[in-house]
Structure 1
Amino acid sequence: MKRRAIVHRLPMAGPDDASALVAEIEAGRIDPAGLRAVLGKTEGNGCVNDFTRGYAVQSLRLALAPYLSDDVLGALPMVMSGGTEGGLSPHWIVLEEGEGPDGPPALAFAASLTASLPPQAIGRMAQVQAVRDATRDAMRKAGITYAADVHFVQIKCPLLTSERIAAAGGDVATTDTLKSMGLSRGASALGVALALGEVAPEQLSDAVIGQDWSLWSARASCSAGVELTACEVVVMGQSADWAGDLRIGHAVMRDAIDAGSVADLLDLVEPGFRAQLTPPSQTQVLAVLAKTEASPDGMIRGARHVMLEDSDLSATRHARGFTGGLLAGLTGFTELFVSGGAEHQGPSGGGPCAMIYKTS
């Protein structure tokens, strides 16, 4: 017998609602002992004060407490990404491991947690190195030998708050709490890039984080939040140690309107894809995960955008709604894990996109 990946995409009525997950457990369709990670897309603002992420984690822990010990719950990654602007739908993505008969290489995943990061490490090389090590550890746990077989690395990382900055005596990468989110995401992404051989060690230093956009990972997706102090690293790829009918593929969007790269990815479930996935093909897609950002040069294919100049709405919120609309139009559904802020995650102004799907 081989390991087998099982993926559930479940609705969320609000950050306090884990009822769909409990219903699946009670019906015997999810074995809580097989849970390896839970990803959640919540409806907050995705900024420093987005408490829907912590609220969702708390709700999830309470819902799972009757089924799992405190130790197991404490080690279970719960990656919450805030912001469902536009038509994006809040939802859960549940990664479960089971057993299955022998077969060709299939979807594989595993998680690793770094130690708690002191404020001084956030957005600096210490965070890069911690994520590098956690990514390699998760690959080992998943039985993924080669970096080329990794298709997506989902990370939840900490940010700086006023209290954490004060505790560090001001020895931090930035005293701007919102900017700290981008630096933490960027450092985490470069840790993935280092682990997967996408950048060389000599290219990296504190000075390039959040500055040199020529350095990026094609497979990192990082979301920062106030609800944790460690980095939760979930590696997804394919491995001969796993079997079953699930696969994963990824693409890199060169900008926020790169429908062509996403169309090439959707061709995996609907050969000859042209417009929008047909209903039969939609049922094969279990999860779509993407990174997006407002292009930092203020331009999209030669035309000016104002996302960076809006004082009322964070640019990451614009970007999620913008890219979410594009992806919804192509896939035909809105339960899409679109995360804003793509520092060092894909080329500047673009971002990685992955799809977990069932073979026909």
Structure 2
Amino acid sequence: MRTTSAGVFKIATTGPGDVSGLMALIGSGAIDPKSILAILGKTEGNGGVNDFTREYAVAALCAALAPRLGLSPEEVEQRIAFVMSGGTEGVLSPHLTVFTRSEAERPAGLSGKRLSIGMAHTRDFLPEELGRSAQITETAKAVKAAMADAGISDPADIHFVQIKCPLLTSDRVEAASARGNKTATTSAYASMAYSRGASALGVAVALGEIAPDVRDEDVLRRYDLFSKVASTSSGIELMHNVVIVLGNSAASVSEFEIGHAVMRDAIDSAAVIAALESVGLGFAPQATNGRGLVNIFAKAEASPDGSVRGFRHTMLEDTDISSTRHARAAVGGLIAGLAGTGAVYVSGGAEHQGPAGGGPVATIARLSD
């Protein structure tokens, strides 16, 4: 088995088109652009169908990296997995998390499992396949391919699976209708949830968290079916799923380690602390036992039953602000307080990603050695 080293860099941004921090790290030699495998970003858009900050950020990154890689911007987008999550409500701070991977020699005496990353793509989907079994099945295949790419065979070593998935537009709905097919929904906004949910169920199937016999009608209905490590984000800029697997592998000599826990609801501080402790960190860590916090990744949603621990919430009834924005702000504030920083990756819409109203929370730490 090949030996690799995964790197992680968190970079603050002043706007969706700001690539200066990444270019500075490349210029200093801290990042080899050829080693970049994935870039996850939080942008200050609304996180909805018309959140063009995501596409803007990807375009700016591709344009900046193209000459460094000797590729066209379009080729850069095919080579690197870009996942931009819109919405930095409350204290959340816009930033990028850059993941690199390179071949490496194993130092003498180094032991244990360390951060490893793998990537895969599904085929393009037809509009009528979004939110349905085809998306679930193809996503499960891609998750397994990404695991192999990461050198991880045991699902227990997977701690976060980030997916960028498509959504429906009126043009896409009309294209399906012209072929005599109906889509899961005709609402572009509702399609984001269907796509996220089906993608998450694909992760659950791949990792053996649920049985593979998931039906179309289970999506957004059977909330007892979920993945404890899936994080899915919908966007208008693609028609396939981009799958990024993050876990620990004995074949990795990375300076980093990843762990996770599962929030049972939006105020589950104990789960956030458990995620920190899973990588040897503590409350509001700047450094613990020589280890340092790199980033926290979490999902957030308004509980679909309209309550949190027996008390009613109004996130689902607010016609001024969408429930996903409420949830990002609430969970983002909770995690920021416990982590000691607002530069954390909190994504809204957690359908089938953790228990209803909750979601996975993963932590990456830099190791002391």
1:264 and 2:274 equivalent?
yes
- Aligned partners of 2:351, 2:78: CA distance in 1, in Å? 29
Letter in 2 for 1:330: L
Q: In the TM superposition, what is the alpha-carbon distance from 1:277 to its structure 2 partner?
A: 1.8
1:82 and 2:90 equivalent?
no
SS in 2 for 1:78: strand
2:259–2:279: 8 Å Cα contact kept in structure 1? no
Matches within 5 A, 1:119-268: 119-169=127-177, 171-202=182-213, 204-268=214-278
- Aligned partners of 1:217, 1:319: CA distance in 2, in Å? 19
- Distance change >3 Å, CA 294–CA 201, structure 1 → 2: same
- Aligned partners of 1:33, 1:52: CA distance in 2, in Å? 25
Q: In the TM superposition, what is the alpha-carbon distance from 1:74 to its structure 2 partner?
A: 1.7
- Per-residue CA distance 1:234-289 (angstroms, 9 max, x = gap): 00001111113210000000000000111122224556x4xx42433497111110
Structure 1 segments of 4+ aligned residues over 3 angstroms from their partners:
70-73, 268-271
Q: In the TM superposition, what is the alpha-carbon distance from 1:72 to its structure 2 partner?
A: 4.8
Structure 1: give runs of 5+ residues left out of the alignment: none
1:269–1:284: 8 Å Cα contact kept in structure 2? no
1:24 aligned residue? 25
Structure 2: give runs of 5+ residues left out of the alignment: none
Q: In the TM superposition, what is the alpha-carbon distance from 1:75 to its structure 2 partner?
A: 2.6
1:153–1:192: 8 Å Cα contact kept in structure 2? yes
Q: In the TM superposition, what is the alpha-carbon distance from 1:114 to its structure 2 partner?
A: 1.1
SS in 1 for 2:232: strand
1:316–1:341: 8 Å Cα contact kept in structure 2? yes
- Aligned partners of 2:292, 2:105: CA distance in 1, in Å? 19
1:117 aligned residue? 125
- Aligned partners of 1:110, 1:264: CA distance in 2, in Å? 25
Matches within 5 A, 1:40-51: 40-51=41-52
- Per-residue CA distance 1:158-195 (angstroms, 9 max, x = gap): 00011110111152010011110000000000000000
Structure 1 length-normalised TM = 0.96
Q: In the TM superposition, what is the alpha-carbon distance from 1:230 to its structure 2 partner?
A: 1.0
- Per-residue CA distance 1:17-61 (angstroms, 9 max, x = gap): 111111111111100111110111111000111111111111111
SS in 2 for 1:288: strand
- Aligned partners of 2:64, 2:329: CA distance in 1, in Å? 30
2:285–2:293: 8 Å Cα contact kept in structure 1? no
Q: In the TM superposition, what is the alpha-carbon distance from 1:339 to its structure 2 partner?
A: 0.3
- Aligned partners of 2:342, 2:361: CA distance in 1, in Å? 15
Could you tell me the percent identity over the aligned residues? 50
Letter in 1 for 2:139: V
- Aligned partners of 1:199, 1:298: CA distance in 2, in Å? 26
Which one of 268, 276, 286 corresponds to residue 279 of structure 1?
286
2:286–2:292: 8 Å Cα contact kept in structure 1? no
Letter in 2 for 1:239: S
- Aligned partners of 1:193, 1:53: CA distance in 2, in Å? 26
2:41–2:94: 8 Å Cα contact kept in structure 1? yes
SS in 1 for 2:67: coil
Matches within 5 A, 1:87-98: 87-98=91-102
> Alignment length, in residue pairs?
356
SS in 1 for 2:273: helix
- Aligned partners of 2:29, 2:129: CA distance in 1, in Å? 43
Structure 2 length-normalised TM = 0.94
2:56 aligned residue? 55
- Aligned partners of 2:327, 2:251: CA distance in 1, in Å? 37
SS in 2 for 1:280: coil
- Per-residue CA distance 1:199-244 (angstroms, 9 max, x = gap): 1012x00000011100000000000011111111000001111113
